[in-house]
Amino acid sequence: MMSPDASFHRFETPDALAQSLSDAIAVDLSEAIAERGRATLLVSGGSTPLRLFRALRKKPIAWEYVRVGLCDERWVPESDPASNAAFVKRELLQDHAAAATFVGIYTEGVVPEEAEALCSRRLKEWLWPFDVIVLGMGTDAHTASLFPWNPRLQEALEKSDPELCIAMTPSDAPHPRMSLTLQAILSAGHIYLHFEGEEKLRVYEEALQGDDAFAMPIRAVLKQNEKKIEVYYA
């Protein structure tokens, strides 16, 4: 069963997926640069996007006009191995992509709940509007840092402008987080969902069968009528 608002691209290998998705993102970014002189790309952490980052950073586009940010961040400094910012700088912002500008979420000295407004202002000043967002998905059906049954999940799914960010503390994953809200995600010009492996394919297929976004937050992205989601799977 496929969502009417999702286009599913299946690949035999993660490398083939990375090449195809990096091609698509490079086109999206180049079109945005041609249209208004700059482009923004928001990406996710975790192990899944590693091949994508290494393929994308070799694309000879005008990276000096690209600003790169995060869909979510663990509330740790870049010196911490769990930092998404450090991962993106190490694996994406190399080769041609070293010319891009990175805009982080983490703010030292405050807890995430105290930094929501600052995060929103920073994103609006440096990254808005979002041209491309690349989401991941966990085996628990979370995306960004929107976790199932989280006490603030409803707020994250319903928050409206001007709040783009929400602090989230997962019950079964380490570190407090800062995440984009659902509205912020759906504001992007191009939205990609990238996942790999049979277990996550089963999660995706289950998500398409129901409507309860509190049990499976990825449903809030997949089962909406505002934006088409491009799904890339290997």
Q: Which residues of the chain have pLDDT under 70?
A: 1-5, 161-162
SS3 111: coil
> Would you say residue 12 lies in a domain?
no
> Would you say residue 233 lies in a domain?
no
| pLDDT at 171 (0 to 100) | 83
> Would you say residue 1 lies in a domain?
no
| pLDDT at 24 (0 to 100) | 99
Give tens-digit pLDDT for 21-35.
999 999 999 999 999
The 3-class SS string of 22-38 reads HHHHHHHHHHHHHHHCC
> Would you say residue 185 lies in a domain?
yes
Residue 102 sits in which domain range? 21-228
> Would you say residue 2 lies in a domain?
no
CA distances from 40 to 96, 139, 167, 168 (A): 16, 28, 22, 24
> Would you say residue 104 lies in a domain?
yes
CATH number of the domain residue 83 falls in: 3.40.50.1360
* Domain tally, the chain: 1
Cis bond before residue 129 (omega within 30° of 0): yes
| pLDDT at 2 (0 to 100) | 46
CB 230 within 8 A of CB 7: yes
Q: Cβ atoms within 10 A of the Cβ of 172, count?
A: 9
| pLDDT at 5 (0 to 100) | 58
* Residue 40 dihedral angles phi and psi, to the nearest 5°: -125, 140
> Would you say residue 156 lies in a domain?
yes
> Would you say residue 214 lies in a domain?
yes
| pLDDT at 172 (0 to 100) | 80
